[in-house]
Amino acid sequence: MCGVVGIYSHDELITSRLTFYALYSLQHRGQESAGISVFGDYIHIHKGMGLVNEVFNEKKLNEMRGKVAVGHVRYSTTGESKIENAQPLLAKTKKGALAIAHNGNIVNYHELRSKLENKGSAFITDSDTEVIAKILSKELLKNDIADSLKNLTEMLRGSYTLVMALNDTLIGFRDPLGFKPLIVGEGDFGYVIASESCALDALGARIIRDVSPGEAVIIREGEIDFVRIANSKRKAHCVFEYIYFARPDSVIDGRCVYDVRHKIGEILAKESPVDADIVSPIPDSGTTSAIGFSKASGIEYLEALIKNRYVGRTFILPEQNARELSVQIKINVVKSNVQGKRVVLVDDSIVRGTTSRKIVDMVRMAGAKEIHFRVGSPPIISPMLLRNRYVNEGRAYSIK
Amino acid sequence: MCGVVGIYSHDELITSRLTFYALYSLQHRGQESAGISVFGDYIHIHKGMGLVNEVFNEKKLNEMRGKVAVGHVRYSTTGESKIENAQPLLAKTKKGALAIAHNGNIVNYHELRSKLENKGSAFITDSDTEVIAKILSKELLKNDIADSLKNLTEMLRGSYTLVMALNDTLIGFRDPLGFKPLIVGEGDFGYVIASESCALDALGARIIRDVSPGEAVIIREGEIDFVRIANSKRKAHCVFEYIYFARPDSVIDGRCVYDVRHKIGEILAKESPVDADIVSPIPDSGTTSAIGFSKASGIEYLEALIKNRYVGRTFILPEQNARELSVQIKINVVKSNVQGKRVVLVDDSIVRGTTSRKIVDMVRMAGAKEIHFRVGSPPIISPMLLRNRYVNEGRAYSIK
Amino acid sequence: MCGVVGIYSHDELITSRLTFYALYSLQHRGQESAGISVFGDYIHIHKGMGLVNEVFNEKKLNEMRGKVAVGHVRYSTTGESKIENAQPLLAKTKKGALAIAHNGNIVNYHELRSKLENKGSAFITDSDTEVIAKILSKELLKNDIADSLKNLTEMLRGSYTLVMALNDTLIGFRDPLGFKPLIVGEGDFGYVIASESCALDALGARIIRDVSPGEAVIIREGEIDFVRIANSKRKAHCVFEYIYFARPDSVIDGRCVYDVRHKIGEILAKESPVDADIVSPIPDSGTTSAIGFSKASGIEYLEALIKNRYVGRTFILPEQNARELSVQIKINVVKSNVQGKRVVLVDDSIVRGTTSRKIVDMVRMAGAKEIHFRVGSPPIISPMLLRNRYVNEGRAYSIK
Amino acid sequence: MCGVVGIYSHDELITSRLTFYALYSLQHRGQESAGISVFGDYIHIHKGMGLVNEVFNEKKLNEMRGKVAVGHVRYSTTGESKIENAQPLLAKTKKGALAIAHNGNIVNYHELRSKLENKGSAFITDSDTEVIAKILSKELLKNDIADSLKNLTEMLRGSYTLVMALNDTLIGFRDPLGFKPLIVGEGDFGYVIASESCALDALGARIIRDVSPGEAVIIREGEIDFVRIANSKRKAHCVFEYIYFARPDSVIDGRCVYDVRHKIGEILAKESPVDADIVSPIPDSGTTSAIGFSKASGIEYLEALIKNRYVGRTFILPEQNARELSVQIKINVVKSNVQGKRVVLVDDSIVRGTTSRKIVDMVRMAGAKEIHFRVGSPPIISPMLLRNRYVNEGRAYSIK
């Protein structure tokens, strides 16, 4: 998962800042690195490891002037945390400078890379974005942007939502499967393309519409065009966007993420009903579904758990008992809310079984009479991790 | 507001780490500076600007060994942000090393300081804690700890909750007014004294009891004594601890902070009833009271606002329109939750009227039919800041 | 100017450290960025802005394990200081990983780049090293290393001393003009290739010999081969290496740099003899030539100027009077050494005329009766900068 | 050893910068910490660990405005490197703010501190400067500055050169033994007091005169007074100032440091004459004496050793062979200058015997026929460290 942004601004002095704020609102999509490339009289690029406001400062933003910008926040999936893999990738081609911000996963990356290497290509980065850059660089020699994207689509398999700048042109493109979201907005300043609508809200821009799967949006000299690149039979929405990737205040393909999560809570309440005294979220991920669960079940909504708001990324873990203490330091039980009560705990998923189990233990130790655990998504890891004493009933786990 | 911690640990290797975790759980009480002093074969002290886990690292914690420790997190009230004012203050006296962590406000500080200066005293810091150090240093020449604290109490006016180490002795003291909280706990490791019970939870310690106003707790060689220092007619609980200083999972003087905030929400619902479709908190400060309001009124609890979880302390503000954008970047409206609806917004207080007003504006722009604003505490700043168009009805503000 | 290093070590645990020390001894050749790539079970690369020991630490060096390594220190000639341009450049090709460290200047860089772009190539960096990587990547498809270098040589114009790793093979190459130096050494650990012999000394390695212009050295599995790649009629030694680039303790193409500079001083003394009381260097650049001048002329060697040893790269310049003060802060006159005396000042060159002029003014102000200024190299900038009052007599400037 | 500075400037905007430059020129006297206190409408103080230009920046200097300033650079003698011990020490007293910068060593510090503790004093720092602050604070209650200094002098034993600000008054004071230097200068801007005359040169100020042992200089509202505080029979010049503490371009108590070191070289040549081919310094400490040795003996001056100019404080030492390599990395032999020759090496002292021995070994390995080692000061450490094979002849050590 990553976050991508493209800005076309009439005023070249505010473009970098608009990109900054848009990335800032997409920070939940990636905290490993951040980067912005601005195309003006000069081609600017600045990338760094860390959060958006760690990588950029006033001085840097003021230096980067131009009407067109591309931004990216990266989430490390591989564990390899290197500045070389930060985006956007800036390539200089026969047809001009090309900045690419990519959200997705090219399934046939190694195959494509081998083909290019067999012809003598040298790869400078380990990122699949360089494959896209090399293919587009060749395609643009003889084709226009739309045809180049069409040919690219025929080569790539997987998901690839792209925001790109080619000289004075800003391009957004969503692959035919449409796995990763992309939305276009308009504000006083010009246009914005972004992974989620919350980035539009951050800029005070209104939604024009989602980019459809297989469609490109091309913005040049203040003119905006939606161009169909490839036919797309199905809309393979990434359900995980709704369940935990996206921000709840975003609207993706016409559906508000908050509504979806609230509804999941309602469904959980009907699917696996339970007699209980209170329903509480695992903060912050389970909040919306817990509210929905409470509404549908009529069980009182009360917070059993409080999160330490200052838990950061660089937290020092004790050498011994690390696993035990780490949860306790981040989350605490409000004892009087659970003592002698039957408690329903709701989360979005069981990404880390050990964390979930530890929280259940903490609530039990605090005096809860019964604990019922409900999760919005099917278990990703084996429910075995919840040990035998937890009864697995689909998305519901109970302990008495 | 500050946070104070004292640790007496049988195992001198884990003392610094226990203090670290306790301070970490009290981080909400102060983010300007953090410091720990550990008394062992050597007297260690380390202080720095910033969050607890920015100031300390594994190496530093490993170096600081001893059975007794004092910790402090500081909240800047004056705007003067200097390392010189970080605590604990470590003073060397005739009777040994004395580390002082102070939470409070000495009302007659300047008067006491003048008296000491008139006798030739030189002050190295600007902190009122140095006055306490100088008085105690003199008192301890001829008196024991309890009598020294008694004489100190006769000199000081204001609030002063202290955690101190004097050689191998750990001392906690709460002034007779008892404005600032102090609680004592016991764990496998030994004893902990802290501003709030959430620090005890973080260490897996159980509550022994609150230190009473005018009382000291003295821990030496594993023995714990509660000593009455001064009579105290009244318990001047700091209501702001319950309303917004303390963490909701803390129990202060026998009352759970969460319960108090929940009850405030219930009272608000009864005090100023309103016909509405949803009740929503201003995140995160209004959450608990909003849940209580929903319960008492029967109005559906639904989040109108989503906070950007990555808003940090070092956020870059745009030079122009700073005030307008700054809220928008931090908080966004879930439009579908408010469109065409009558919305009750609940917060703990109106510390910054401009923020509250901006949020109300955002919710209205998103399509709310009516907005009713309820706050847990009496307005600290003039409701004028909410402009005339907001009707002031005590702790309730409505706009249609 | 840059510094390049290649290491082949039998013990893969010490390779990164040997490279580090060799680069450290070549720090004078570039202070903008430093980088090391180590080829072992993994391909490691680490680059950063700043000095060698700012970029690397114990932890990083320990991680980088393998028998073959390439290192680079970069001197910014363009003023564009970007991490993207730091070297070595690591490229992944059909024939394996290729790390390139380059010292030189490709004269027909833009022409070569255009040709490649016309075929669809996309350039990720602004460095001429990427052109070399792309050409070699293609050549290696069908040719061995020697033939690939031969074909490369036919395409490139300018200077290009290269140290490269291709999988388990370490390669050094010096262009036919031989402008930039390259020397090979042998130690207990294995082999070292470096810009200057001082890097060999730092590792306790003995000189095997200089790489000749047009020659490559190829080290694979402990075997070393010198291979002639291109004929070379002339040896275009870069005179500036002797005059001020190289370290005086280095031996380049059989001549000790110290000797050359000492001899320059002797020649200056004979070329433009002068009656004077003392001869003094401009520290540190003029020291060796001043000693030679003293020997040949018989004039007493005495330091007129003392340099502040703590002048660093990040020095704060005052906003006003910057140019005036900046020299005075860095260098001071020993008044008693110049008062009433006829002083010969010797420097290696007049790179910055303003600095030289300011120093002459300072010595005059301190009471020198006559000042005679001698420089080792022809003036690079116009002697006009020395103003009319200084008489230009070739490499001699006098003022009375 | 430390460096102290006091500035009285008519223009309050440049005071902090003048202090900065003066400290910068005294950086050789201490690299552990740096601090400046400026007295204007506000009392400013800023201290930090590290070099002067690491601790201060433009922004910080611009904030600190006032006519009077005190500065300090600290050299750690104890190994305890703590910001708490950085100077100046700023104390608030009945008579106003008092900033103290101290260079020296109070012999009866512990005795004085005990006396004060016995009266109930609490010490906030571990520095002997706080004892001075406490004594002066009491003295100033009833005496003027001169009498207070007089009484101070009667209490203190040891060396204590002080530069202080008391409200609008700048004070310099040198203890009766006069161990540590202090000099006063005048420039267009106003007055400067400093440890060495090189600080005056850095500001373009001319020398007024040295402060005599037992004398104070008091500058108030542009008026300067020299006041005799205590009689002083002897001038116990610190010989180490001349031999290696001070900068060679400084003039201390009327003698130019360069001259003294040059003369030491001459004396060495006469004291222990030797037949040799070249005389070379150990860079940079032995340079001036080596030049003097060459002059007196007639032996050719030639550098046998070249120092890596980029060796910094944070150098990474290899875990194994650390002692061996560390010298080799910092200093290299110019082989052609020593091969087959009889070499005299001159240094200021043998502070670290292992370094000297290692250098001698390196020169021998490089082919020197004979090595004669001469040092300016009596050996501080046991010559045993030079092993038996080096013959100790007073300040001369020879090896054949």
Q: How confident is the model at residue D394 (pLDDT cuts 50, 70, 90)?
A: low
Reduce the DSSP state of residue A120 to 3 states and report it.
coil
B partners (3+ CB pairs within 8 A) are: A, D
Tell me if D92 and B120 make a contact (CB, 8 A cut-off). Answer: no
Contacts of D138 in chain B (CB under 8 A): 120
pLDDT given at position C126: 87
Q: How confident is the model at residue C388 (pLDDT cuts 50, 70, 90)?
A: very low
Closest Cα in chain A to C85: A84
Average pLDDT of span C52-77 = 92
pLDDT given at position C399: 54
Closest Cα in chain A to C48: A83
Using only C-alpha atoms, chain B has a radius of gyration, in whole angstroms, of 23
Query: Nearest-CA distance from C57 to chain D in Å?
Result: 7
What are the pLDDT digits (tens) for C233-261? Answer: 766 567 788 888 999 999 999 999 999 99
What are the pLDDT digits (tens) for D320-339? Answer: 444 456 677 889 999 999 99
Tell me if C24 and D303 make a contact (CB, 8 A cut-off). Answer: no
Cβ(C195)–Cβ(C138) below 8 Å? no
Rounded to whole angstroms, how far apart are CA atoms C92 and C147? 20
Rounded to whole angstroms, how far apart are CA atoms A304 and A283? 9
pLDDT given at position B397: 61
pLDDT given at position B325: 61
Half-sphere exposure in the Cβ direction for D163 (13 Å, CA): 35
Closest Cα in chain C to D280: C291
Query: Nearest-CA distance from A256 to chain B in Å?
Result: 7
For A133, B109, C264, D226, D362, the CA distances from D316, given in Å and listed in that order, are 40, 49, 37, 49, 21
Cβ contacts below 8 Å, chain A against chain C, sum to 66
Average pLDDT of span D233-261 = 87
Helix (H) or strand (E) holding A88: none
Cβ(C27)–Cβ(C20) below 8 Å? no
Q: How confident is the model at residue D389 (pLDDT cuts 50, 70, 90)?
A: very low
For A22, B198, C159, D46, the CA distances from D83, given in Å and listed in that order, are 41, 32, 51, 11
Rounded to whole angstroms, how far apart are CA atoms A225 and A244? 32
Question: Which ipTM did the prediction report?
Answer: 0.90
Chain A interface residues (partner C, CB cutoff 8 A): 45, 83-84, 89-94, 98, 117-118, 120-126, 130, 133-134, 136-138, 141
pLDDT given at position C387: 38
Rounded to whole angstroms, how far apart are CA atoms D99 and D64? 14
pLDDT given at position D201: 95
DSSP string, C37-51: EEESSSEEEEEEES-
What are the pLDDT digits (tens) for B313-333? Answer: 555 555 544 445 667 888 999
Q: Residue B212 carries which DSSP code? A: P
Rounded to whole angstroms, how far apart are CA atoms C68 and D22? 48
Reduce the DSSP state of residue D73 to 3 states and report it.
strand
Instruction: Tell me which of D110, D124, D164 to substitute to probe the interface with B (most B C-beta atoms closer than 10 Å).
Output: D124
Tell me if C93 and A125 make a contact (CB, 8 A cut-off). Answer: no
Rounded to whole angstroms, how far apart are CA atoms C8 and C190? 6
Average pLDDT taken over every residue of chain D: 89
Q: Name the pTM for this structure.
A: 0.89
Tell me if B201 and A332 make a contact (CB, 8 A cut-off). Answer: yes
Reduce the DSSP state of residue A148 to 3 states and report it.
helix
Helix pair B15-25, A322-330: axis angle to 10 deg: 30
**Which of A257, A346, A337 has its CA nearest to residue A303?**
A337
For A42, C74, C140, D400, the CA distances from C82, given in Å and listed in that order, are 15, 11, 29, 53
What are the pLDDT digits (tens) for C186-223? Answer: 999 999 999 999 999 999 999 999 999 999 999 999 89
What are the pLDDT digits (tens) for C325-334? Answer: 667 888 999 9
- DSSP β-ladder status, A43-49 and A68-74: unpaired
Which of D2, D198, D238, D256 is an active site residue?
D2
Contacts of A134 in chain C (CB under 8 A): 120, 122
Residue listed under structure tokens 């011990």: D85
pLDDT given at position A324: 53
What are the pLDDT digits (tens) for A220-259? Answer: 998 999 999 998 876 656 778 888 899 999 999 999 999 9
Can you list the residues of chain A whose pLDDT is less than 50? 320-323, 379-393
Instruction: Tell me which of C316, C324, C328 to substitute to probe the interface with D (most D C-beta atoms closer than 10 Å).
Output: C316
Q: Which among C27, C288, C302 is the nearest to D310, CB-wise?
A: C27
Can you list the residues of chain B whose pLDDT is less than 70? 77-81, 234-237, 312-326, 350-353, 378-400
Reduce the DSSP state of residue A73 to 3 states and report it.
strand
pLDDT given at position C238: 75
CA D381 to chain CA mean position, Å: 20
